Structure 1
Amino acid sequence: MRTTTNQVKPAILREQFIPDHLFLYLAKGNVSFFDGNEMYTYQSGDCCIARRNHLVKFILNSTAEDFEPIMFCFDEEFLHQFWQKYRNNRENFLSERAVIAVAKNELIDSFIRSVKPYYKGAMELDAAFEDIKYEELLLILLRSQPELEGIFFNFDAPQKINIEAYMNRNFRFNVGLERFALLTGRSLSAFKRDFKAAFKDSPSRWLVRKRLQEAYFLVQNQGRKPSDIYLELGFESLSHFSVAFKKEFGIVPTSLLTNT
């Protein structure tokens, strides 16, 4: 089910895995994305595409009342149908960025204005116009930036990549081992086997230790508060983080702040 919304939902802002290509137009507000390598910030009038099968953290820089995104989620079934209908060329898209900026243009601005009459309820697009408007938006995007064909029409599964480099870049993301396996182009059993060979440790133990080492550095050397970093580092609660930190280092994380 594809939905279009301008309602801020915590689940959207906390989402770290992008299962389908997501087009975002920021009608109002300011938001940042972190993909393990880079931080991208967008403000009112900007638009971008968050790519399928990528990890991204969303950081809202505006209050909920001042944040108005308009989003279109392009699922694979729709993209296959579009591909069959228009038979666009598919060139390779060279950038590995998880979030791709879309150049501002009048066609997109006009499209956003045209969509508003078809909203209903919680800003869901009227089902009678859904496919038409999705198709129209995709045609506009491809006309404006033809290279996006290499993103939208690449239906390949993630290829096997260097597990050591990938995990060192993405250990902060709180996703399951099955997801890490998928994104590194492996089955779960192959992921665990290759991980053990690369790190001489199990994925679960290594992830906790790596996140705690990063936490120690951030608290001791940068004066970051534990309450500000535990989610950033992939811990689900402050209490879980504090218990794990003390088990690893023999002290509570706040004691590092009093010693600086």
Structure 2
Amino acid sequence: MRLTKITSCYIGPQISPEQFISEHFFLFLIKGSITGYDGHKSYTMKAGEYCLARKNHLGRYHKQKDNGEFEKIVIVFDAVFLHEFKSKYQVGEGSFHSENAFLLLKKDEMVSNFISSLTPYYDSRGKIDETFSRVKREELLLILLRTNPGLGSILFDFAAPGKIDLESFMNQNYRFNVSLERFAYLTGRSLSAFKKEFRQIFSETPSRWLIQKRLKEAHFLIGTKGKKPSDIYVDLGFEDLSHFSFVFKKKFGLNPSDLRIS
């Protein structure tokens, strides 16, 4: 499979960089490696592997370059596209049971050949010509549904998340840097209902609870496990190191870098 002319790109709408997966997307890794986490488990992808990232899940990943290079293909299956695709093609929804945000798919030659077929459609900027973008998305989805029939039950499920146990969900996912609106949506509640029930359970506002929970975990990782502040602040839901250091010192009275291993 020749990939030398293919560069990292997105086909379809751009996806948000936040740690909430708002649309399904297919990711094919060309160069480098990826480690991911979805609140349930960790994942590792190497060059030549691919996965489906699931809508309405939390997830983050870190990329590692190989000899200074990292390349990927991301193809977004947004809701509008999927509705139109289902109307156009006779597709079965199948059955697929998994809570994982990232579904690592078994390698198949049809997928590899599809990735190679993208090469002629790249323009001088390394992007897929919009004229062919939709056609290639349809082609890939037809391939995935043939090689993984159960994916239809995931891709064509357009329902919003149902109501789930709020306490369990928050204790498992407090490390993700997403808005309260996202947390409310994923637990099947309006924002006002989420805030009200949250206070009843935790006796605290969601925003304050999240900060305190993350800081407590940071203190443990630095003071007990010997982790560096610069290595953990992103994974604990903080946007930048300076803000993390500020709130850490405000709570514990010292900079995180000054905390000694106990």
Output the TM-score relative to the length of structure 2.
0.91
Q: Which residue in 2 is equivalent to 1:6?
A: 8
1:132-154 Cα offsets, whole Å, 9 max, x none, are 11111001000001010111101
1:88 and 1:5 map into 2 onto residues whose CA distance is 31
**Does the CA-based 8 Å contact 1:32-1:59 persist in structure 2?**
yes
How many pairs align? Answer: 254
Residue in 1 that maps onto 2:89: 86
Structure 1 gaps, min length 5:
none
From 214, 222, 226, the counterpart of 1:211: 214
8 A Cα contact 1:35 1:56, kept in partner: yes
* Separation in 1, partners of 2:228, 2:50: 33
* Alignment equivalent of 1:30, drawn from 33, 37, 44: 33
Q: How does 1:82-231 map to 2 (within 5 A)?
A: 82-231=85-234
How far the C-alpha of 1:108 sits from its partner, in A, is: 0.4
- Deviation at residue 7 of structure 1 after TM alignment: 5.1
**Structure 1 residue 92: Cα displacement:** 4.7
- The structure where helix makes up a greater share of residues is 1
RMSD after superposition: 2.1
**Contact persistence 1:5–1:71 (CA under 8 A):** no
**For residues 251 and 45 of structure 1, what CA distance do their matches in structure 2 show?**
45
- Measured in 2, the distance between the counterparts of 1:175 and 1:192 equals 15
Q: Please name the residue that 2:80 is paired with.
A: 77
Task: Name the counterpart of 2:69.
Answer: 66
Q: CA deviation at 1:197?
A: 1.4
SS at match of 1:33: strand
List alignment gaps of at least 5 residues for structure 2: 1-5
Cα distance in 2, alignment partners of residues 177 and 153 from structure 1: 26
The amino acid across from 1:154 in the alignment is D
* Aligned CA distance change for structure 1 residues 39 and 13 (closer, same or farther; 3 Å): farther
What is the deviation of 1:164?
A: 0.7
Compute the TM-score of the two structures, normalised by the length of structure 1: 0.92
The CA distance in 2 between the partners of 1:77 and 1:5, in whole Å, is 26
Show structure 1 runs of 4+ deviating over 4 A: 11-14
Of 12, 19, 22 in structure 1, the residue corresponding to residue 22 of structure 2 is: 19
Rounded Cα–Cα distance in structure 1 between residues aligned with 2:173 and 2:7: 29
